[in-house]
Amino acid sequence: MSNALLLIAYFGVLLAMTKPVGLFMARVFSGERTVLHPVVAPVERGIYRLTGVDETKEMRWTTYAVAMLLFNLAGFLVVYLLQRLQRGLPLNPRELSGIEPRSAFNTAVSFVTNTNWQGYYPEITMGYLTQMSGLTVQNFVSAATGIAVAIALVRGFARRSSREIGNFWVDLTRATLYVLLPLSIVMAVFLVARGVPQNLNDYTAAVGLGGETVLIPQGPVASQEAPKMIGTNGGGFFNANSAHPYENPTPLTNFVQMVAIFLIPAGLTYTFGRMVGNTKQGWAIFAAMSALFFVGVAVTTVAEQSGNPLLTDAGASQETTVNGESTPGGNMESKETRFGIAASSLFAVITTAASCGAVNAMHDSFTPLGGMVPLANIGLGEVIFGGVGAGLYGILVYSVLAIFIAGLMVGRTPEYLGKKIEPYDVKMAMLVTLVLPLSILGFTGVAMATDEALASRWNPAAHGLSEILYAFTSATGNNGSAFAGISANTPFFNPTLGMAMLIGRFLMIVPILALAGNLAHKQRATVTAGTFPTTGPLWIGLLVGVILIVGALTYFPAYTLGPVVEHFQMRNGITFSLE
């Protein structure tokens, strides 16, 4: 019951905030005035003057893509060097040493690509300067990059006979200044008020329960935590991420963090509808995302609440009431007691539906089916609200495919939002579609045949396969959450996961910008009774169906050898131990 109530409350808040946030962003990216303009506009103009950006000059998709790639390359170099050189840099009270090249490469790629996969333990690895001026900065600008690309694609649909899709520098600046910064400031203040640390102090020494001396890490946590959620980054200040009481102290902060993850992605669906001139189009996308979201929440929550039959057989109670007392029940392994089954399951689904990757429980310890949902959420391309910007452009590519496959059935050249879908568009959409299976299944295949990779598993048999599959799924999907149960800071995983992140980010963005450029150039056809309607329940059902079928066809065999067979073996009472 409390599971359902939490979901209803959560979705109600999300629904209520979608329009205002979306409308605000539509105004920002259309260059209209907003309430923030009196404060932010002078800063924005100052940045353009300093950098010499002409905000009135728009770009073709190729220029836009080059600007985006150069900016990200610069970002990568900065983060890489900050890590390598942090020993000699200030704000390093623990005098942490420079990070070895493969790990530094992995982490730099990870934060630039909005993945925030962390192969290291932050509190014993990263100095404050690296965290603040490297990682936190990327929390903003990698998110802003995603938003910019999404807006460019939306412009592709909205414009007609145009060569330009916007100015990358302007989109990047506006996404940061008007959207990400204000929301993050509000959230950081809220987190500090709820007890999240924000200081540059040395770690606090304390006496543990066993009488031993322990170090309690400190640092500018709130200022990284806020953009971590708002920008669907997910890279924790601490290794335990949002399970750590300093990152996510209470059920209320947990709730706010969950809302923060979906806030911009949900808002962008409205932005999209508004910018293409029909908000119903945006709500249709929102509805398709919601339908997939509810399915995921239902499966994970039920699986987790049902628990593990083997534990019941062993005499452990997984009921929600024991001796008249209310208990969480279900599978509580590696879940925080302050969150319980409901908030942990919901958080897991949200963080993987979006490309956030923050975790408040260990996905590795979920039941097979409960853990398969996060895996599938990422595998589908994180289009269930998804990463900031990435979710929208991802689902719009699915829309193009759905329209093309089924749209022919109305007897016309398929068109989406009045744009005829022609060979070039299908080619770009297919390139995007190929990225996920190529990287996820390709790297997993290689890993499963490599002894060194297999040695990183903490579990044998099907679960071991799931751990490796999850790692490459998470990296390619730029999610960054770890299934855990795998030692990923190794010579095999650091470069391969790093490559997976780069492939999953930029091999996807470039064809999407090409698609945007091609769409913008097209005429917009008038809507008639002969046009495939892309607003009603039929369209929503079709879009959901295509996403599920494409996903199922891609991952069915691999998942069968992972979570699916594990589920049936669990039911048959078959267990394994690491040999």
Partner 1 sequence: MDTERNTITSGAVATGGSPGGSIREVGLGPDSQGLPPAGQRPSSGDSGKKAPKRNLFDPGIVRPALAESLRKTNPRHLWHNPVMLIVEIGAVITTVALATNIAGDGEEQIWFVAAIAAWLWFTVLFANFAEAMAEGRGKAQAEALRRTRTETLAQVMIGGDRARIERRASADLRAGDLVLVEANDTIPSDGEVVEGVAYVSEAAITGESAPVLKEPGTDIASSVTGGTQVVSDWLVVRITAEPGRTFLDRMIALVEGASRQKTPNEIALNILLAGLTIVFLIVVVTLSPLAEYAGSPASITVLVALLVTLIPTTIGGLLSAIGIAGMDRLVQRNVLATSGRAVEAAGDIDVLLLDKTGTITYGARMAAEFIPAAGVSEAELTAAALRSSLADETPEGKSIVLLAERMGQRADRAYLEGAELVPFTAETRMSGIRRDGRATMKGAIDAVGRIVGTIPADIQEASNRVAAAGGTPLAVIEDNRPLGVIYLKDTVKPGMRERFDELRAMGIRTIMITGDNPLTATTIAAEAGVDDFVAEAKPEDKIRIIREQQAEGRLVAMTGDGTNDAPALAQSDVGVAMNTGTAAAKEAGNMVDLDSDPTKLIEIVAIGKQLLMTRGALTTFSIANDVAKYFAIIPAMFAGAYATDRDDASALDALNVMDLTSPESAILSAIIFNALIIVALIPIALRGVAYRPMSAAALLRRNLLVYGVGGIVAPFVGIKAIDVILTGIGMA
List interacting residues with partner 1 (CB under 8 A): 160, 401, 404-413, 418, 420-423, 425-427, 430-431, 433-434, 437-438, 441-442, 444-446, 448-449, 454, 461-462, 465, 523-526, 528-533, 536, 538, 542, 545, 549, 552-554, 556-558, 560-561, 564-565, 568-569, 572-574, 576
Cα–chain center distance at 309? 32
Q: Is the four-CA dihedral 532, 536, 540, 545 of positive or negative sign?
A: negative
Listed in order, strand segments (DSSP E) in 293-358 are: 321-322, 325-326
Q: Compute the least distance from the CB of residue 366 to partner 1, in Å.
A: 19
Say how many Å lie between the first and final Cα of the chain, rounded: 41
Least distance between partner 1 and beta carbon 249 (Å): 41
Reading the block at residue 142, the tokens are 């990698």
Q: Give me the least distance between CB of 160 and partner 1, in Å please.
A: 7
Comparing CA positions, the residue from 89, 88, 100, 90 lying closest to residue 125 is 100
Instruction: State the Cα torsion 141-145-148-154 to the nearest 10°.
Output: -150
Q: How far is the CB of 577 from partner 1 (least distance, A)?
A: 11
* Nearest approach, Cβ of residue 507 and partner 1 (Å): 14
Rounded distance between C-alpha atoms, residue 117 and residue 248, angstroms: 19
Q: Tokens for 155? A: 């412009």
**CB-wise, 150 or 417, nearer to partner 1?**
417
CA distances from 29 to 434, 462, 473 (A): 30, 47, 32
CA torsion, ordered 472, 473, 475, 481, to nearest 10 deg: -110
Smallest distance from partner 1 to CB 334, Å: 23
Q: Where are the alpha helices (DSSP H) in 390-460?
A: 390-407, 423-448, 451-454
Length of the chain: 579
DSSP state of 216: E
Of residues 57 and 571, the one with the C-beta less far from partner 1: 571
- Compare residues 37 and 427 and give the one whose CB is closer to partner 1: 427
Distance CA 40, CA 84 (A): 35
Nearer to partner 1, 205 or 409 (CB): 409
Closer residue to partner 1, CB minimum distance, 234 or 370 = 370
Based on CB atoms, which residue is closest to partner 1, 84 or 412? 412
In the complex, what is the shortest distance from the CB of residue 534 to partner 1, in angstroms, rounded to a whole number? 10
**Residue 553, H or E segment:** helix 537-559
Output the smallest distance, CB 285 to partner 1, in A.
Answer: 18
In the complex with partner 1, the residue whose CB is nearer, 320 or 535, is: 535
- Determine the Cα angle at 281 with ends 402 and 13, to 5°: 110
User: Between 337 and 572, whose beta carbon lies closer to partner 1?
Assistant: 572
